[in-house]
Amino acid sequence: MIGSKNVSSQAITARSEDYSRWYTDVIQRAELADYAPVRGCMIIKPYGYALWEHIQQQLDRRFKDTGHENAYFPLFIPEEFIMKEKDNFEGFSPELAVVTIGGGEVLEQRLVVRPTSEAIIGHSFSNWIHSYRDLPLLINQWANVVRWEMRTRLFLRTMEFLWQEGHTAHATHDEAEEETLKMLGVYADFAINEAAIPVIQGRKSNQERFAGALRTYSIEAMMGDKKALQSGTSHNLGQGFAKAFDIKYSDRGNQLQHCWTTSWGLSTRMIGGIIMTHGDDQGLRMPPRLAPIQVIIVPIYKNDDEKSKVMEAVDALFAELKGAGLRVRVDVREDLTPGFKFNDWEMRGVPVRVEIGPKDVQNNAAAVARRDVPGKAGKQFVPREGLVERIKALLVEIQANLLAQATAFRDANIHPIENDYARFREIIKDGWAYTWFCGGAECEAKIKEDNQAVSRCFPLDQEKGEGKCIHCGAPATERAYFAKAY
Amino acid sequence: MIGSKNVSSQAITARSEDYSRWYTDVIQRAELADYAPVRGCMIIKPYGYALWEHIQQQLDRRFKDTGHENAYFPLFIPEEFIMKEKDNFEGFSPELAVVTIGGGEVLEQRLVVRPTSEAIIGHSFSNWIHSYRDLPLLINQWANVVRWEMRTRLFLRTMEFLWQEGHTAHATHDEAEEETLKMLGVYADFAINEAAIPVIQGRKSNQERFAGALRTYSIEAMMGDKKALQSGTSHNLGQGFAKAFDIKYSDRGNQLQHCWTTSWGLSTRMIGGIIMTHGDDQGLRMPPRLAPIQVIIVPIYKNDDEKSKVMEAVDALFAELKGAGLRVRVDVREDLTPGFKFNDWEMRGVPVRVEIGPKDVQNNAAAVARRDVPGKAGKQFVPREGLVERIKALLVEIQANLLAQATAFRDANIHPIENDYARFREIIKDGWAYTWFCGGAECEAKIKEDNQAVSRCFPLDQEKGEGKCIHCGAPATERAYFAKAY
């Protein structure tokens, strides 16, 4: 499937021409995903799924390292359960898929397909937790969820998506808050250090909170079109769900207390983030740490004699790279020119390309091209001896370079502003604004109406100070980012 | 969660008293799973899910090694798709969960929750496959599926279960058949060498085939109550699905041909197989290669002075075992006696227990108990030097011993029989019969009516010969196993 013989020769739309179309062109050309027969649903093809598997591995390791255990809760939630936490229900009820027929019969008890699992997990926690000794309870699940979205986009917003959702229960507010921020930090560490996406950790305004949460935090990233992408969220649910689902524990004094709970999630939307943070007009640029294929070897030969010499060298290099733990592949497709293959693997975003032709075999060298530096500047002839070490080092350089490029682009497109709402409006037409914000509902609604943009977050890391809310002028003690968003 | 402080002191029902109740007692006491609020659905708790994760890793590695790639197809299938393959639809239509409401509206196009994915994957394959160069197409997905089961049992048969389903497309019948048998062999290798379950690979009778398949193969295992458990299936789907979903390719002569497809699946039912193959009246016995916890260390001390000496030795041993790649845990729960802990971890099936008390520290030794040999015979004092190597060797011994015990039990309860239907009927009340069978529908229906048992399979590995069908007396060239089954 990956690099199948089915090769499309249609060009990818330039980003400057139509960014949306560039995005879907890249996904389809690189065979990451397809549209499914059911509106708004997607098929994740092997290359896209391999990327997801690497994302899963990197996150799961961090979850286990922070004491969480994986479990699995049901897909179906009784309708009345979802209704128990009123705000959560109001938030999600227009988005539910409901099973009304089972085994050929109309069901008495209608079943909702989980849009998120607080209700069913809350119910379980109330059965499992009895004493302070049972806390903290630190659970995660990898699952599919369904939200009846009207406007869908591959990876970014689909009716069904894959994610992980963590759910934890604690004895105190402070422990819950510590966990909420810890997992936000895990997301940021993953995004920055695995996906090479520079994210900002911040707190959502009250209006932008998860329905039913006390406090919601998110990691926010800037995409290639300068729009924001909320790339992961972590919620301190306070005691709201514990009260709705009766999650209690006896404390050291034998008094019954409600737990304080958290939940946090990151989904296949992250793949959209990787595409749009690093992609260029040639296609994808995969961060090496997550790339399904890190090194592609393209053999070059004109006849059988050249072929056998070249393939001998190729096979030896392949074995050595594989033995060094790299994800390497050889493009042995017949009937395609080397030039075609170069473009194809660039389009698919493979970080390093190695070309081996008869002259290279003769010279005991190879041509090595790096995806992050276009044209001749990105290609070198490297001696065969030490080639594997050179490639390993190159992958580390490319990873760092992708992060640096994304960081520079983002920082160049965030504009601090104060006291000038007209200028603020100009800025967020094409970039992010960073400004004092009162956080109020009315203000935010007006800003949204005026600009089709809401606050992204109040960054955790900000200088203390005071100013005037950019919209209403009231005193404000925090700055927030504003941007159009996905 | 695993080994939580919530400890139940209810005894496990003896197998000889009530095998069904023993089974559910073990699952609940060992905290493998729970019943969900929705009838027939289950919650897989962390200890059970950790076992599933090891099963997944071992299978996934084998799938990748045999050239398959993972992808992900949608949960929802348009109702009309499922209807396209008539036999498949008839087979599954009484078992479907149907979504009729989405986003608050009644849907025009009703959506079926996948009971299996041939229909949706067949549809995709018809879009992806054009030429012989696209074949073979070797895809697998890890997913949840829903079948509206009336009689459910934790892990063995649940409304929603987790599984992998492989789907492949080939140019010829023979290539499809080769793949079908190859994957059956992968399942057998996994069952025998990872789960320590001795399985028989065989072909299903025509009546017992997957709805729509040309040929169905399965791995069959004998549980502790002598019933059979079908533990994995592999189907040669012939050209039926290719014709229903228009999966065609142009051959080397540029003629359009229908593909030959296969599908194969193994599910969370395997966990039930592990419980019932190895479990005893004390509870679980986990095969070391899949055990979530391979070694449990129980510290023994009476006062703070002893505690600090003991914990120093415990921590050092823990680090060494972990460094050696073993899955090890220390039971630091307060307020529980060592004796209680011994029983608790035996109940949870942990293969090796290490006890360290003050005398052991003094003697530079430890007590090591193996789960597969009860009482004093299973416990030894082992010098601290070489302890880790001894434990590693012990895990390998236990794995082999569990397989040997299960194999001996199974073989002792399979009884060959010919020409004596009355004796055959006696045998399958409490064991498996191995006998000549004509394979006919009428015969099998009668046998089922008489005995509440059908054929399990015609084993691939059997002596050639001829005899008379055990039921109808017609000439038969193959023997089959018969048994009551889950």
Query: Which residues in chain A have their CB less than 8 angstroms from residue B146's CB?
Result: 75-76
Q: Which of A35, A113, A137, A162 to probe by mutation at the B interface, max B CB count within 10 Å?
A: A113
pLDDT at B461 over 90: yes
Asked if the structure places residue B339 within a domain, the reply is yes
Query: Which residues in chain B have their CB less than 8 angstroms from residue A123's CB?
Result: 37
Q: Which of A4, A108, A111 to probe by mutation at the B interface, max B CB count within 10 Å?
A: A111
Helix (H, G, I), strand (E, B) or coil at A458: strand
B148, A49: Cβ pair inside 8 Å? no
Which of A253, A278, A303 is the C-terminal boundary of a domain?
A: A278
B1, A144: Cβ pair inside 8 Å? no
Same domain, A97 and A245: yes
Same domain, B216 and B355: no
C-alpha span between B149 and B24 (Å, rounded): 18
A43, B77: Cβ pair inside 8 Å? no
List the single residue in A with minimal CA-CA distance to B32. Answer: A71
CA distance B118 to chain A (A): 14
- B142 to chain A, any CB pair closer than 8 A? The answer is no
Strands (E), A384-474: 414-416, 432-436, 454-459, 467-468
pLDDT at A353 over 60: yes
Amino acid at A106: V
Task: Grade residue B2 by pLDDT with cuts at 50, 70 and 90.
Answer: low
A97, B99: Cβ pair inside 8 Å? yes
Percent of chain A with pLDDT over 90: 93
Percent of chain A with pLDDT over 70: 98
A85 or B422: which carries more pLDDT confidence? B422
pLDDT at A202 over 90: yes
Segment holding A141, helix H or strand E: strand A137-146
Lookup: tokens for A255:
């008094």
Residues 383-442 of chain A whose Cβ lies under 8 A from any Cβ of chain B: none
A96, B103: Cβ pair inside 8 Å? yes
Closest CA to A23 of A8, A35, A12, A34: A12
Which of B232, B250, B278 is the C-terminal boundary of a domain?
A: B278
Q: What domain count does chain A have?
A: 3
Asked if the structure places residue A40 within a domain, the reply is yes
Same domain, B233 and B370: no
Same domain, B58 and B139: yes
Rounded to a whole number of angstroms, the CA Rg of chain A reads 25
A118, A168 contact by CB (below 8 A) = no
Query: Which residues in chain A have their CB less than 8 angstroms from residue B137's CB?
Result: 1
* DSSP secondary structure letter of residue A474: -
Same domain, B27 and B55: yes
Category of A195 on φ-ψ map: left (φ > 0), alpha (ψ -120 to 50) or beta: alpha
C-alpha span between B454 and B150 (Å, rounded): 20
pLDDT averaged over every residue in chain B: 96
List the single residue in B with minimal CA-CA distance to A97. Answer: B102
Residue B99 has a CB neighbour count (10 Å cut-off) of 26
Asked if the structure places residue A285 within a domain, the reply is no
* DSSP secondary structure letter of residue A116: S
Residues in chain A: 486
Quickly tell me which residue has 């000439």 as its tokens. Answer: B475
CATH label of the domain that carries residue B91: 3.30.930.10
pLDDT of residue B7: 57
Percent of chain B with pLDDT over 70: 98
How far does CA B146 lie from the centroid of its chain?
17
A144, B75: Cβ pair inside 8 Å? yes
pLDDT averaged over every residue in chain A: 96
Quickly tell me which residue has 């040929």 as its tokens. Answer: B215
Pairing outcome for strands A454-459 and A479-483: antiparallel
Sequence-ordered list of residues with C-beta below 8 angstroms from that of A223, at least 6 positions apart, any chain:
A229, A273, A276, A277, A486
List the single residue in A with minimal CA-CA distance to B1. Answer: A137
CA distance A48 to chain B (A): 8
Same domain, B224 and B348: no
C-alpha span between B129 and B137 (Å, rounded): 8
pLDDT of residue B93: 76
Residues facing residue A263 across a β-bridge: A167, A235
Residues in chain B: 486
Domain limits at B305? 295-394
Asked if the structure places residue A399 within a domain, the reply is no
Which among B38, B46, B74 has CB closest to A160?
Answer: B74
pLDDT at A396 over 70: yes
C-alpha span between B348 and B326 (Å, rounded): 17
Residue B458 has a CB neighbour count (10 Å cut-off) of 19
Rounded to a whole number of angstroms, the CA Rg of chain B reads 25
Same domain, B304 and B263: no
Query: Which residues in chain B have their CB less than 8 angstroms from residue A37's CB?
Result: 74, 77-78, 81, 120, 123
**Widest CA span in chain A:** 84
Asked if the structure places residue B34 within a domain, the reply is yes
Same domain, A62 and A111: yes
List the single residue in B with minimal CA-CA distance to A48. Answer: B71
* Inter-chain CB pairs, A–B, below 8 Å: 185
Which among A38, A53, A134 has CB closest to B74?
Answer: A38
Q: What is the pLDDT of residues A328-348, one digit of tens each?
A: 999 999 889 999 999 999 999
Lowest mean pLDDT of A210-214, B39-43, B187-191, B266-270, name the range.
A210-214
Q: How many CA atoms, within 13 angstroms, populate the side-chain half-sphere of residue B344? A: 20
pLDDT of residue A9: 65
pLDDT at B154 over 80: yes
Q: Which of B52, B76, B125 to probe by mutation at the A interface, max A CB count within 10 Å?
A: B76
Same domain, B270 and B142: yes
Residues 101-140 of chain A whose Cβ lies under 8 A from any Cβ of chain B: 101-104, 109, 111, 113, 120, 123-124, 127-128, 130-131, 133-134, 137, 139
* DSSP secondary structure letter of residue A152: -
Cis previous bond, B288, omega within 30: no
Query: Which residues in chain B have their CB less than 8 angstroms from residue A94's CB?
Result: 103-104
C-alpha span between A274 and B380 (Å, rounded): 55
Same domain, A40 and A144: yes
CA distance A184 to chain B (A): 23
HEC readout, chain B: CCCCCCCCCCCCCCCCCCHHHHHHHHHHHCCCEEECCCCCCEEECHHHHHHHHHHHHHHHHHHHHCCCEECECCCEEEHHHHCCCHHHHHHHHHHCEEEEEECCEEEEEEEEECCCCHHHHHHHHHHHCCEHHHCCEEEEEEEEEECCCCCCECCCECCEEEEEEEEEEECCHHHHHHHHHHHHHHHHHHHHHCCCCCCEEEECCHHHCCCCCCEEEEEEEECCCCCEEEEEEEEECCCHHHHHHCCEEECCCCCEEECEEEEEEEECHHHHHHHHHHCECCECCCCCCCCCCCEEEEECCCCHHHHHHHHHHHHHHHHHHHHCCCCEEECCCCCCCHHHHHHHHHHCCCCEEEEECHHHHHHCEEEEEECCCCCHHHEEEEECCCHHHHHHHHHHHHHHHHHHHHHHHHHHCEEECCCCHHHHHHHCCCCEEEEECCCCHHHHHHHHHHHCCEEEEEECCCCCCCEECCCCCCEECCEEEEECEC
What average pLDDT does range B57-82 have in this prediction? 96
pLDDT of residue B1: 55
B128, A4: Cβ pair inside 8 Å? yes
A397, A380 contact by CB (below 8 A) = no
pLDDT of residue B307: 97
The helices-and-strands tally (H runs, E runs) of chain A is 14, 25
pLDDT at A1 over 60: no
Lookup: tokens for A178:
């510590």
Quickly tell me which residue has 């590995």 as its tokens. Answer: B461
pLDDT at A397 over 60: yes
Which of A248, A278, A308 is the C-terminal boundary of a domain?
A: A278
A91 or B368: which carries more pLDDT confidence? B368
pLDDT at B88 over 80: no
Asked if the structure places residue A404 within a domain, the reply is no
pLDDT of residue B8: 60
Same domain, A265 and A302: no
Amino acid at B154: L
- A55 to chain B, any CB pair closer than 8 A? The answer is no
pLDDT of residue B266: 98
CATH label of the domain that carries residue B463: 3.30.110.30
B298, B368 contact by CB (below 8 A) = no
pLDDT of residue A428: 97
A73, A120 contact by CB (below 8 A) = yes
pLDDT of residue B94: 80
C-alpha span between B420 and B443 (Å, rounded): 15
- A57 to chain B, any CB pair closer than 8 A? The answer is no
Question: How many angstroms separate the first and last alpha carbons of chain A?
Answer: 30
pLDDT of residue B91: 77
pLDDT of residue A4: 59
CA distance B81 to chain A (A): 9
Residues facing residue B370 across a β-bridge: B352
What average pLDDT does range B106-122 have in this prediction? 94
List the single residue in A with minimal CA-CA distance to B75. Answer: A160
Same domain, B176 and B256: yes
Quickly tell me which residue has 């030490």 as its tokens. Answer: A386
Q: Where are the alpha helices (DSSP H) in A194-257?
A: 240-245
Q: Which residues in B394-426 are b (16+ Cβ under 10 Å) and which e?
A: bbeebbebbbebbeeebeeebbebbeebeebbe
Which among B37, B53, B97 has CB closest to A78?
Answer: B37
ipTM score above 0.90: yes
C-alpha span between B308 and B211 (Å, rounded): 63
CA distances for B199 relative to B434, B484, B485, angstroms: 15, 16, 14
CA distance A250 to chain B (A): 13
pLDDT of residue A10: 77
Asked if the structure places residue B289 within a domain, the reply is no
Lookup: tokens for B372:
């597969």
Query: Which residues in chain A have their CB less than 8 angstroms from residue B37's CB?
Result: 74, 77-78, 81, 120, 123
Pairing outcome for strands A414-416 and A432-436: parallel
- A186 to chain B, any CB pair closer than 8 A? The answer is no
Q: What is the pLDDT of residues B206-231, one digit of tens each?
A: 999 998 899 999 999 999 999 999 99
Asked if the structure places residue B300 within a domain, the reply is yes
pLDDT of residue A302: 95
Segment holding A421, helix H or strand E: helix A421-427
Lookup: tokens for B119:
């229909």
- B44 to chain A, any CB pair closer than 8 A? The answer is yes
pLDDT of residue A3: 62
CATH label of the domain that carries residue A345: 3.40.50.800
Q: What is the pLDDT of residues B391-415, one digit of tens each?
A: 999 999 999 999 999 999 999 999 9
CA distances for B188 relative to B115, B400, B432, angstroms: 24, 16, 19
Q: Which residues in B103-122 are b (16+ Cβ under 10 Å) and which e?
A: beeebeebbbbbbbbbbbbb
C-alpha span between A316 and B251 (Å, rounded): 34
pLDDT of residue A89: 74
Query: Which residues in chain B have their CB less than 8 angstroms from residue A81's CB?
Result: 37
